[in-house]
Structure 1
Amino acid sequence: MRPMVAGGRAGEPFAPIADFGFLSDCETTALVAPSGNIEWMCLPKMDSPSVFGSILDRDAGYFRVGPAGVEVPAAQRYIPGTMVMETTWWVHGGWLVVTDALLMGPWHHETERSHTHRRAPTDYDADHVLLRMVRCVNGQVQVRLDCMPVFDYGQTPARWEHTGLGYHEAVARGNGINLRLSTDMNVGFEGPLATSRTLLKQGDARFVALSWSEHEPPATYEEAHDRLVWTVHHWQHWLDRGRFPDHPWRSHLQRSALTLKGLTYAPTGAVAAAATTSLPETPGGVRNWDYRYTWIRDSTMALWAFYTLGYDWEANDFFYFITDVAEAAEGNLQIMYGLDGRAELPESTLEHLSGYDNARPVRIGNEAYIQNQHDVWGAIIGSIYLFVRKRDRLDDRLWKIVVKQVEDALANWKTPDAGMWEVRGEPQHFTSSKVFCWVAAERGARLARIRGDMERASRWQQAADEIHADVLDNALDERGVFTAHYGATALDASSLLIPLLGFLPPEDKRVRDTVLAIADELSEDDLVLRYRAHETDDGFDSEEGTFTICSFWLVSALVMIGELERAKALCEKLLSYASHLQLYAEEIDPHSGRHLGNFPQAFTHLALINAVTQVIRAEEGEPPAPLA
C-alpha cells in the first residue's frame, strides 16, 4: 500500500546524483540531498531494505531538517578529515547551519564480527544514531523538521507514537526496525509524518537524533555536541593513520580513503561497491543495478589502495573477509557476496517504485552473482600475493585456498564467460578474463615458490606461459592492438589492465598501441567508455556514459608507457569532474559532466588512488607500481 503523505515531498524534482552528501558509520550509510533531505538510508545495514528511499520514489520516505521554504543551500562541506557534513543556508533575515553525522562511539564488545576479523588500534563502533544539529548563526530562521520513514523500500508507512518523554521523543516501528526520534524540539504527527516548526534566533541551537538499536541517543543538546565532537575526532584520528603525499591532489586521496572506509562494513571488513541501488547508468534507462554488495574483483585494487595509503588494518580486514568466504564455499567462489558473507543475492524488481527520475526498473539483489566470470580466480590470487608479499610466508589455510583457486583457473580458462562487465549477452572468450587467469597461474607460481612447492611452481608457471601465448595469438587485431574478446575487432577498456597487472611490460609496442588506441578511439571528450554498446552484445540496446574507473585506468596506463604529461592532463580533468564534496558516481556523461550510476562508487575511488599515486610517483622519478 502506498503511503498517503501529509505535507510530503511528492512532485519534487530529483537532485543530480553528484549533489548528494555521503554519511557512514561503517555499518549503515545515508545520502543527504542539497535540500537537507535524507533521501537514502537502509537499516540496519547498507544492503538492508530502505527506511528513507525518496531518491528512488518521492513517496518512499525522507527526513529533512532545514529552513522552512528554502531548498537550495549556500554551501555544503565536510568538516575537514571527516564524514561529518555541514550545510549552510541563507534566508531573508538569517543564516542557518545543519550538521549531519552517523555517530561513532567506543567499541561495544558485544558487536558481532567474523572469526578472523581484527580490530585496528583506533577502531570505534557505530552508535546506530543519525544526528542532525541545527544552529542559527545570524538573524533568525524558521526551522522545519519533517521525518517520514517508509519501511521496506517504501511499502510500509510509519506509525508514530509519543513515548513517556512527551513531545520530545517518538517511536515508529516497521519491518523489524524500531526507530526512535529524540529531539529538544516539540514534535507532532501528521499521519506517517513526524514534524516540528521552531523559530531560532542568533545563537540558538537544537538537535534531533534518530536511533535504531539499544544504543542510547543523546538526551540533551550538550550531550549531542559532545558525541558529535567524538565522531569528528574519530574520523580525523583515522585519517591521521594514513600516508598521504604533500601534493595538490592530496585532498582527493584523503576523501577517496574516507569514502572507501565509509563503504566498508565493519563487522566483516567487506567493502561495498556502492551505497545505492538502481541509480541509472543512462538517464531514464534500464541499466539500473544493485551495488550494495562486495565484489571479489575489487579485492586486488582495494588491497593495493589500502596498503599504499598505509591502512594495513583495513586491507587485512577485507582480505580476511575474502578468505573467510572462500573457505566457507570450499573454494568455489562466486564473483560477489552480501556484506555479511551470504552467498544468495536473488534479483527482483520493485514495481511500486517509480525510480530515480523515472528510471525503471528498480532492482534489489543482483543476478550476476550466479554468472561465470573468470577474473575471480586472478583477483583472489592477486590479493593473496599482495598479502603474503608483505610477510614472505604462506600458512596452511591460505595455501589450501591458493591451490583450489589456481587449479580452478587452469581447469576453466579455455572456456568463455560473462566477462568483468557482467554482460547479459552470449558468453565470450574475453581478453581480460584470460589475463586474470594468467594472473592466477603466474602469481600462484610465485606463491608456490614461497611455499617451497617447486613441482606446483613449475607446473603453474608452464600453464601461465600457455595462457600468455594463447592471448597473444588470439586477442590482437591486425594492428597489434588488444581487442575485447577473441575474434572481435572492438576495443574494451579492460585491456588497460594489461600493463597494470604486469601481463606485458609497458614498453612493449602492443601495450603502447593498445593504450593509445583506447585513448583515441574509445573515448568521448577524453573520457573512456567501457566499450561501444553497438559493438558489444551486453544484452541491452541503450548507450551509457563513460566509466570513470576506466578513465583513471587510462591515466595509470599512460604513466606506465611514458606519456606523463598526457596522463597529468587527463587526471587533472577527471579530478575537476568530482562532485563539490569530491565524490564520484560510476559514470560521467562526457558532454554535460553529469554523474550517472550508483553513488558513491568504490571502484572509481580505488582507481583514483591508483592513478594519482602513479602520477605522483612518476613526477618524483619513481618506477610505476603494478597492481599485483
Structure 2
Amino acid sequence: MSLSNSPFPPIADYAFLSDCHTGALVAPDGSVDWLCVPAFDSPSAFGNLLDRGAGSFRFGPYGINVPTQRSYVPGTNVLTTTWHTPGGWLLVHDALTMGPRQGPDRVTPHTRPPADDDAEHLLVRVVECLEGMVEVELVCEPAFDYGRAPAEWKLVDEEWHAADATGAGQTFRLSTDLLIGVEGSSTRARHTLAKGDRAFCALSWAEGFAGPVDAADAMARIERTVAFWRRWLARARIPDHSLRHPLERSALTIKGLTYMPTGATVAALTTSLPETPGGERNWDYRFTWMRDSTFTLQALHFLNLDWEADEFMQFVADLEPNEDGGLQIMYGIDGRRDLTETTRDDLSGYEGAQPVRIGNGAFDQRQNDVYGAVLDSLLLHTRRSEHLPRRLWPLVKSQAEGALAAWREPDQGIWEARGAPQHYVSSKLMCWVALDRASKLAGIREDLALEKAWAEAADEIRADILAHGVSDRGVLRQHYDTDALDASTLLAAIFGFLPGSDERMKKTVDAISSELTEHGFVLRYVTGETDDGLSGKEGTFLICSFWLVSALSIVGEPQEAADMLERLLRIASPLGLYAEEFEVDRARHLGNFPQAFSHLALIEAAARIILADRLDELSL
C-alpha cells in the first residue's frame, strides 16, 4: 500500500480480472479503475487509472477504504477481498464471468472455433456479511470514451433495481438487488447487511443485457467462473516444484490477456502507464506484437497448452502482410493493421504522466526482428505438433524472403527507438534466427534447395554479426557503431546463436550482469548512451532481468541464475503480477500492467531452472 500523497494507487496494487475478451483492474479500495468494453482495445468506460475523474465503480463497505486481505481464489482470475469494519466483517467476490456457450457471440464475434465456455460479457460483484452488521455502498460512475462522455442514466426497472448507462454510442446495464438512485452521472445505493446476508450488482454489455436475477444467481455465475479457470489450469503441465505458484499465476495471466475470439494476445491490459514517473514514455500496449509470438509459443508449449498455441499461430496465419510480404511488428487483436496513435490531452495521466496515448505509432516502424520471431514460433509449433499446416508454408517463405531482403538494412531495433535507424545487433540476430529456422522448416518439408540456400544465408548473417557486432573486449554491442551494452543481446544465448560455452557469450552475460544493472535488476540500455528519441530515465526492465536468468543458466551459472530469479520473485505484486519495469530506488512497478512479456519471460526462466534441477536429481 502506498504511503505517498498520490491519489493514484501504486500500479502493483491493482488486481487483474479477465474473461478473455476484456479485463478490469480493481484498486485496493474496491473501485474498478480500468475497464474497456466489450474488448481489450475498446475505449474505457472506467478510466480512473489515467485520470481521477474518468470513471470508477465501487462496491464495498461504506466509509472503509483499506481492506484486510485481497487474494485470488486459488487457480483462478477471480478476486476475493475481505474487509474488517467497526460493525463486522465483509467478503467481496469480483469476476468477469465465464459460462457455457449459448450460441454465436454477437458482441465480439469469433474467428476461431468456439470453445465450450465463453465470456458472459458481465462484471459480477457479490458482497457477503461474515459477521456482525456492515453497511455497504454501491457507486457506479462511468465516463465513456476515455472519460470524455459522462454517463446518462435511465432507470429500467420500476422497483429501482436496474438502470442503463449510455454515452459515446455505448450502453451497458447495471442490475442489483439494492435500491438504486441516480445522482447526475452516477448511480448510488446503500444497504446494511447482517451476518449471512448477501447482495450483488452486475454490469452487463451482453446481448439483451442479460445478467443475474438475484444474489444466488450472481454467486452461481462466479462459482462457474472459478470452475472454468480451474478446469483450464488443470490442462496445463505445471511441475511439482517450488516455482509452481508463480508459474500458475503467470499462466493464468497470459490466458487472461488472450483475446478468445481471434487467439491474439495483448501485450498488456492498459495504455499509458508511465515507464518514467511523470514523463512521456507512455504507450498503448493493448495490441499484439509479433515479437511476443516466439515467447508466447515457448511458454504455451512448455505448459502443454497446445490448443492456445495453435489458436495463436492461426491468428498469425490470418494476418495481412505488408506489400513486401513481411508482417508488421504489431496488429490489433482483430488483425487490423492501422494503429494510428493519438493523444488524449484532457486526461491528467497516471500521476501526471503525459501524454496519454491511444494507438501506437510504432506499428509502421521497420523492425527486422519480426521475421525471426515469427519463424521461431513456426518451428516450435511444427516440432511440437509434428505437422506444418499447408496454409503456413507461404508464411515461412515470405518471412524468410523478408529477412533476406532486410538484414543488411538499419532499423529501429527491438525497443522501437524513435531515434535514427541503426544496425542493431539484436535485429541482425533475429534475422539469423529467421533464416536458421526457415532452413529447418524447409528440411521438414524436404525442400532441399531452400534448406541449403537459407542455411547459407544464416551463416552469412552470423559471420557479419561476429565481425561487426562484437567489441574489442569480446562483448556483443548494442549496434555496429557503438560499444554500448543492450540487454537484447542476451537473446543470442536464448536463441542458440552462440553456445553457452562460447567466451563471447559468457563475457556478454557477465558485462550485462555487472554493468547494465541497478541493484541487481537489468536495464534495457543506458538512456544517455542511446538515441531513442525520448527524454527521461527508465526503470529496470523486468523481461531483461528474466532473460538474464535464462542466459546465466545457459552459460553455466546455475546458482547465479537461481539467485536472480529469487530476487525477481520477491518483487512480484501482492497478487503475483508484474508490470513492465521496476523502479529500484522506490521499489515500485512502472509501465503497463499486467505485462505479458514479463510473465512469458518468467515462464521461460523458470523452465530452465526447473530443468537444471531435474537434471541434477538424475545425476545424483
Does the TM-score normalized on the shorter chain lie above 0.5? yes
What is the match of residue 539 of structure 2? 545
Matched residue SS, 1:603: helix
What is the match of residue 579 of structure 2? 585
User: Would the alpha carbon gap of residues 114 and 176 (structure 1) be closer, same or farther in structure 2, given more than 3 Å must change?
Assistant: closer
* 2:197 is aligned with 1:204: yes
User: Would the alpha carbon gap of residues 133 and 56 (structure 1) be closer, same or farther in structure 2, given more than 3 Å must change?
Assistant: same
Q: CA contact under 8 A between 2:326 and 2:371: conserved in structure 1?
A: no
Amino acid at match of 1:187: I
What is the match of residue 371 of structure 1? 365
Alignment of 1:486-565 (within 5 A): 486-565=480-559
Note the alpha carbon deviations across 1:363-402, whole angstroms, 9 max, x for none. 0000000100000101111111111112334343211111
Matched residue SS, 1:166: coil
Matched residue SS, 2:134: strand
Q: Please report the RMSD computed on the Cα atoms of aligned residues, expressed in angstroms.
A: 1.5
Q: CA contact under 8 A between 1:559 and 1:615: conserved in structure 2?
A: yes
Q: CA contact under 8 A between 1:548 and 1:586: conserved in structure 2?
A: yes
Matched residue SS, 2:615: coil
Amino acid at match of 1:353: L
Q: Among residues 334, 339, 346, which one is paired with 1:340 in the alignment?
A: 334
* 2:69 is aligned with 1:94: no
More divergent stretch after superposition (105-114 vs 461-470):
105-114
Note the alpha carbon deviations across 1:270-329, whole angstroms, 9 max, x for none. 000000000000111110000000000000010110010011011111111011105697
Separation of aligned partners in 2, 1:423 and 1:256: 28
Matched residue SS, 1:200: strand
Separation of aligned partners in 2, 1:374 and 1:35: 44
Matched residue SS, 1:291: coil
Q: CA contact under 8 A between 1:65 and 1:143: conserved in structure 2?
A: yes
Q: CA contact under 8 A between 1:181 and 1:211: conserved in structure 2?
A: yes
Question: How far is the alpha carbon of 1:93 from its aligned partner?
Answer: 2.0
Separation of aligned partners in 2, 1:241 and 1:55: 34
What is the match of residue 170 of structure 2? 177
What is the match of residue 136 of structure 2? 143
Consecutive unaligned residues in structure 2, runs of 5 or more? none
Separation of aligned partners in 1, 2:458 and 2:616: 29
What is the match of residue 4 of structure 1? none
User: Would the alpha carbon gap of residues 292 and 246 (structure 1) be closer, same or farther in structure 2, given more than 3 Å must change?
Assistant: same
Matched residue SS, 1:491: coil
Q: Among residues 596, 604, 616, which one is paired with 2:590 in the alignment?
A: 596
User: Would the alpha carbon gap of residues 612 and 467 (structure 1) be closer, same or farther in structure 2, given more than 3 Å must change?
Assistant: same
* 2:432 is aligned with 1:438: yes
What is the match of residue 20 of structure 1? 14
What is the match of residue 292 of structure 1? 286
Q: CA contact under 8 A between 1:25 and 1:262: conserved in structure 2?
A: yes
Question: How far is the alpha carbon of 1:247 from its aligned partner?
Answer: 1.1
Matched residue SS, 2:374: helix
Q: CA contact under 8 A between 1:534 and 1:541: conserved in structure 2?
A: no
**TM-score (structure 2 length as normaliser):** 0.96
More divergent stretch after superposition (197-206 vs 18-27):
197-206
Q: CA contact under 8 A between 2:125 and 2:218: conserved in structure 1?
A: no
Note the alpha carbon deviations across 1:385-431, whole angstroms, 9 max, x for none. 11111233434321111111101110110000000100000000000
Note the alpha carbon deviations across 1:15-60, whole angstroms, 9 max, x for none. 0000000000000110000010000000110001000001100110
User: Would the alpha carbon gap of residues 12 and 131 (structure 1) be closer, same or farther in structure 2, given more than 3 Å must change?
Assistant: farther
Separation of aligned partners in 2, 1:451 and 1:580: 48
Matched residue SS, 1:572: helix
Q: Among residues 33, 45, 55, which one is paired with 1:51 in the alignment?
A: 45
Separation of aligned partners in 2, 1:311 and 1:437: 28
What is the match of residue 418 of structure 1? 412
More divergent stretch after superposition (89-98 vs 323-332):
323-332
What is the match of residue 184 of structure 2? 191
Amino acid at match of 1:36: G
Aligned length: 611
What is the match of residue 73 of structure 1? 67
Q: CA contact under 8 A between 1:277 and 1:290: conserved in structure 2?
A: yes
Question: How far is the alpha carbon of 1:622 from its aligned partner?
Answer: 7.2
* 2:319 is aligned with 1:319: no
Matched residue SS, 1:131: strand
Amino acid at match of 1:613: A
More divergent stretch after superposition (191-200 vs 164-173):
164-173
What is the match of residue 168 of structure 1? 161
What is the match of residue 222 of structure 1? 216
Note the alpha carbon deviations across 1:230-274, whole angstroms, 9 max, x for none. 111000110101111111220100000000000000000000000
Separation of aligned partners in 2, 1:563 and 1:580: 29
More divergent stretch after superposition (161-170 vs 525-534):
161-170
Note the alpha carbon deviations across 1:338-382, whole angstroms, 9 max, x for none. 011110000010011000011111000000001000001011111
Separation of aligned partners in 2, 1:585 and 1:304: 20
Amino acid at match of 1:51: A
Matched residue SS, 1:73: coil
Q: Among residues 297, 302, 308, which one is paired with 2:296 in the alignment?
A: 302
Question: How far is the alpha carbon of 1:95 from its aligned partner?
Answer: 1.1
Separation of aligned partners in 2, 1:348 and 1:259: 28
What is the match of residue 118 of structure 2? 125
Amino acid at match of 2:119: A
Separation of aligned partners in 1, 2:255 and 2:308: 8
Note the alpha carbon deviations across 1:560-618, whole angstroms, 9 max, x for none. 11111111111011000001100000000122220000000000000000011101111
Separation of aligned partners in 2, 1:572 and 1:256: 15
Matched residue SS, 1:125: strand
Q: CA contact under 8 A between 2:321 and 2:328: conserved in structure 1?
A: no
Q: CA contact under 8 A between 1:493 and 1:528: conserved in structure 2?
A: yes
Question: How far is the alpha carbon of 1:621 from its aligned partner?
Answer: 1.2
User: Would the alpha carbon gap of residues 622 and 211 (structure 1) be closer, same or farther in structure 2, given more than 3 Å must change?
Assistant: farther
Matched residue SS, 2:610: helix
What is the match of residue 331 of structure 1? 325
Separation of aligned partners in 1, 2:493 and 2:451: 23
Separation of aligned partners in 2, 1:611 and 1:68: 44
Q: CA contact under 8 A between 2:301 and 2:384: conserved in structure 1?
A: no
Amino acid at match of 1:141: V
Matched residue SS, 1:64: strand
Separation of aligned partners in 2, 1:276 and 1:438: 33
Question: How far is the alpha carbon of 1:164 from its aligned partner?
Answer: 3.0
Consecutive unaligned residues in structure 1, runs of 5 or more? 1-10, 624-628
Q: CA contact under 8 A between 1:429 and 1:486: conserved in structure 2?
A: yes
What is the match of residue 31 of structure 2? 37
Question: How far is the alpha carbon of 1:124 from its aligned partner?
Answer: 1.1
Separation of aligned partners in 2, 1:174 and 1:95: 36
What is the match of residue 448 of structure 2? 454
What is the match of residue 276 of structure 1? 270
